[in-house]
Amino acid sequence: MKAEDLREVDGRILDALKENRYNAPLLADELGYSKQYIRERLADLRRHEHVRSLGYGLYEFQSDPRNNEPNESG
């Protein structure tokens, strides 16, 4: 996924995940979107390897196409 393909919500999700690990319901509450919409966006971000699923619905930041910033762990 290229930076220009990101939706505004995608950037907000990535910014939140840079600070902490989240699941979809917590992100939905934090960002003010429906849980289903956040799940869809997380699935798309995961497919493009910008977030990583840790299991049990928990996600963490992996990379940011806006500045090609990788996660500190790799």
What are the extents of the domains in the chain?
A: 3-65
Q: What is the pLDDT of residue 74?
A: 45
pTM, to two decimals: 0.86
How many whole angstroms separate alpha carbon 24 and alpha carbon 11? 15
Please state, rounded to an integer, the average pLDDT across all residues of the chain.
90
For residue range 32-44, what is the model confidence (pLDDT) as tens digits? 999 999 999 999 9
What residue ranges of the chain have pLDDT lower than 70? 68-74
For the domain spanning 3-65, the CATH number is 1.10.10.10
Q: What is the pLDDT of residue 68?
A: 66
Q: What is the pLDDT of residue 67?
A: 85
